[in-house]
């Protein structure tokens, strides 16, 4: 945030920030319409330039901070303000925590849901993120590697990152040198990184196939940098080609070792995953018999649940489900665990199918599980456990369940996205 005037055209205004919105931007009012201003906090008085319209209001660029609200601190990362990875490093810790604690109640109140017992949030510390999606591009003879800039396709060339595990952070410079030398003709691409338990898993998304020299460089790099697997694909819809595989990457879910597919969805941190699993298990009834694990992914909840009851894991992604099933067979759980590949948006489990279960666990993507929640709401399942990474879509789904006769017993927030507007949760519903 600048404390001196910055030149700029367009419509310029002086505004005072009222609140921080659900997406992390400060919100002021202009002509009765909201103005969303990044990197601000309540009480800030500043000069801004109006940009594009957004959500019935305006997006604005801060030009000059005239008076400072309470709770500002110096952001700890040199990339803050440019990098799109964090929105809230300018908030002092106590103000950041207070804002995160309001995200779920505010989302519920917008759906007319009040009085829900909310447990104390579990805050996962920085430096624990085990997976990341980075972009690389060439500019001015240098290869840049990092996250996208805010509201831009430009790339922030990362010097450091407070979110990543130290091991992932240490890998960035060798990876930058590899891409610069091995892919001289590729102007743009992506790298999906996973810090697994037995090494790193890398998936390169590049349009061109590496030549023989490049493949030799990849193998040398992988041997030197403790890479478990290195794959490449032209996009994420195509089966990746293995460029190097010392051994399949391993993640342990419950007591079972799972080999996730290249680029597969996983919880961003091991610590956050443990907190979510703990809350899911606490939400189970005393002696569950049959559990439906919907949007099961690679089995992060399936295998801990299988220690309590038989589980049917339902997932739309074939590669993720194949990894889950292979791990179930290796560990002798092919009996207690059953799998089904199914698009739960287009074909949710119907109420009559849900009658076979006494517990349903569902962990949908950010857009939520509207179609599936409608079916659960008309079912007779006694216990429902919702996992969500988006309080607004969760609140919408929760309202459907409550209107169907469920009681929302408690919610456990888990913040494994430090300084971002995201917040995960586990919620327990019962009849």
Mean pLDDT of 96-123: 97
The pLDDT score that the predictor gives to residue 4 is 47
Q: Does the annotation mark 389 as catalytic?
A: yes
Q: In what order do the strands lie in the sheet with 12-16?
A: 12-16, 45-54, 57-67, 33-37, 26-30, 19-20
Query: What are the tens digits of pLDDT across the range 310-329?
Result: 999 999 999 999 999 999 99
pTM comes to: 0.94
β-bridge partners, 358: none
Is the pLDDT at 7 greater than 80? The verdict is: no
The pLDDT score that the predictor gives to residue 56 is 86
Is the pLDDT at 8 greater than 50? The verdict is: no
Query: What are the tens digits of pLDDT across the range 70-84?
Result: 999 999 999 999 999
The pLDDT score that the predictor gives to residue 208 is 82
Query: What are the tens digits of pLDDT across the range 358-376?
Result: 999 999 999 999 999 999 9
161, 298, 389, 428: the active-site residue: 389
Is the pLDDT at 9 greater than 90? The verdict is: no
Query: What are the tens digits of pLDDT across the range 90-103?
Result: 999 999 999 999 99
The pLDDT score that the predictor gives to residue 182 is 87
Token reading at 400: 């459907």
The pLDDT score that the predictor gives to residue 357 is 98
């Amino acid at each position: 945030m600048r404390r001196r005037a910055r030149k700029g055209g367009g419509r310029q205004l002086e505004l005072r920030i009222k609140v921080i919105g659900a997406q992390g931007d400060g919100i002021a009012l202009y002509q009765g319409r909201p103005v969303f201003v990044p990197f601000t906090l309540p009480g800030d008085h500043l000069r801004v330039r109006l940009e594009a319209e957004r959500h019935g209001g305006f997006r604005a660029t801060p030009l000059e901070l005239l008076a400072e609200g309470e709770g500002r601190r110096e952001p700890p990362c040199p990339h803050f303000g440019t990098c799109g990875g964090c929105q809230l490093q300018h908030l002092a810790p106590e103000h950041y925590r207070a804002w995160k604690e309001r995200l779920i109640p505010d989302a519920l109140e917008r759906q007319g849901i009040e009085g829900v017992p909310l447990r104390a949030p579990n805050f996962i510390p920085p430096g624990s993120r085990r997976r990341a999606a980075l972009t690389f591009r060439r500019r001015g003879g240098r290869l840049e590697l990092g996250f996208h800039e805010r509201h831009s396709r430009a790339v922030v060339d990362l010097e450091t990152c407070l979110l990543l595990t130290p091991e992932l952070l240490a890998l960035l410079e060798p990876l930058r040198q590899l891409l610069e030398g091995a892919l001289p003709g590729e102007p743009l691409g992506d790298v999906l990184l996973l810090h697994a338990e037995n090494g790193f898993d890398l998936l390169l998304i590049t349009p061109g196939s590496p030549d023989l020299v490049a493949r030799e460089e990849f193998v040398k790099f992988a041997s030197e940098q403790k890479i478990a697997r290195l794959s490449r694909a032209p996009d994420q819809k195509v089966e990746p080609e293995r460029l190097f595989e010392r051994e399949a990457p391993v993640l342990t879910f419950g007591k079972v070792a799972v080999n996730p597919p290249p680029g597969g969805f996983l919880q961003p941190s091991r610590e956050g995953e443990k907190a979510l699993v703990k809350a899911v298990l606490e939400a189970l009834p005393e002696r569950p018999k049959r559990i439906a694990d919907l949007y099961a992914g690679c089995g992060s909840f399936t295998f801990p649940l299988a220690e309590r009851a038989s589980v049917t894991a339902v997932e739309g992604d074939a590669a993720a489900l194949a990894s889950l099933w292979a791990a179930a067979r290796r560990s002798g759980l092919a009996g207690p665990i059953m799998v089904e590949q199914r698009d739960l948006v287009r074909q949710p489990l119907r109420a009559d199918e849900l009658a076979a279960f006494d517990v349903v666990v569902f962990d949908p993507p950010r857009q939520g599980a509207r179609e599936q929640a409608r079916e659960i709401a008309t079912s007779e399942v006694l216990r429902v456990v919702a996992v969500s990474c988006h309080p607004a879509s969760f609140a919408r789904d929760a309202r459907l369940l409550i209107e169907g006769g469920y009681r929302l017993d408690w919610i456990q927030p888990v913040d494994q996205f430090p300084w971002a507007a995201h917040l995960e949760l586990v919620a327990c519903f019962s009849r």
